[in-house]
Amino acid sequence: MITLYSYPELFGVADNNGYGLKVFAFMRLAGVPFIHEHIFDPSAAPRGQLPYVVDDGETIGDSETIIAHLIAKYRLVIDAGLTPAQRHQNLLVTRMLDDLYWVMSYSRWKDERYYPAFRAALLREHPNLDEPGLLKAKEFNAQRYYFQGIGRYTPEAAYARGLADLAVLAGLVPAAGYVHGKRPTSIDAGIYGFLANMWFYDIDTPLKQFLAAHQNLVRHCTAIHDAVMHG
């Protein structure tokens, strides 16, 4: 049995981090049985980052590496029909989601307009957390943002990056079906991982406001959500 280790849920989303939710959604869409263990401490993970999986005693980290491992080992056909051009597009979108991650994270931990609501939600849904621990995480993330670069932006400039990424997704995601046709593929799981962590949050950031104005993104997000949570 495969065990997925990732961050805990929040606002009804199975993982409050886009990368862990991407792997969760991929495994559900691909029909891979697994156990989901929620943890806050990533120190035991490869490179100290979540998510990771343990598969027959083998530990694999990094969401892309996990998905590639599962496809190869279990001969999953979720992406079997993709053309080379579609696979290239998937890589470009995946890298763009890496950029969007930083803006989404910034909106939670750095922007003082939204951090209090995020903090309150964490404390409400996870009573094992406390204020000193969250303050330590906030300070740690501030360092990450500074060295990555997003922490040196004004909020308006930071959100401009994220909104530009979302605009690309709005032009890519169809009004019906999924990115590459009638059935979801791995890139749909990846997009869901990040959109769900904006749309289902009860925090009205500029990112969520953009989603609300683009019903194709909302439809895609809710369709994948229903499939992986209730399918």
Q: Do 30 and 100 sit in the same domain of this protein?
A: no
Tell me, yes or no, whether 127 lies in a domain.
yes
Q: Do 54 and 159 sit in the same domain of this protein?
A: no
Q: Do 113 and 223 sit in the same domain of this protein?
A: yes
Q: Which domain holds residue 122?
A: 84-230
Q: What is the pLDDT of residue 43?
A: 85
Mean pLDDT of 42-61: 92
Mean pLDDT of 206-218: 98
Please give the Cα distance from 62 to 76 (Å, whole number): 18
Tell me, yes or no, whether 213 lies in a domain.
yes
pLDDT digits (tens, 9 = 90+) for 129-176: 999 999 999 999 999 999 999 999 999 999 999 999 999 999 999 999
Mean pLDDT of 42-46: 87
pLDDT digits (tens, 9 = 90+) for 102-124: 999 999 999 999 999 999 999 99
Q: Higher-confidence residue: 45 or 20?
A: 20
The yes-or-no verdict on residue 231 having pLDDT over 70 is no
Please give the Cα distance from 39 to 62 (Å, whole number): 16
Q: Do 137 and 216 sit in the same domain of this protein?
A: yes
In the chain, DSSP assigns E strands to 2-6, 34-38, 52-55, 58-61
Tell me, yes or no, whether 199 lies in a domain.
yes
Mean pLDDT of 29-53: 93
Q: What is the pLDDT of residue 42?
A: 87
Q: Do 61 and 111 sit in the same domain of this protein?
A: no
Q: Do 190 and 95 sit in the same domain of this protein?
A: yes
Reading phi first (left if > 0) and then psi (alpha if -120 to 50, else beta), residue 83 is in beta
pLDDT-based confidence at 62, cuts 50/70/90? very high
Residue 231's CB: how many other CB atoms inside 10 A?
9
Tell me, yes or no, whether 79 lies in a domain.
no
Tell me, yes or no, whether 133 lies in a domain.
yes
Q: Do 24 and 127 sit in the same domain of this protein?
A: no
Residue 152's CB: how many other CB atoms inside 10 A?
11
Q: What is the pLDDT of residue 18?
A: 97
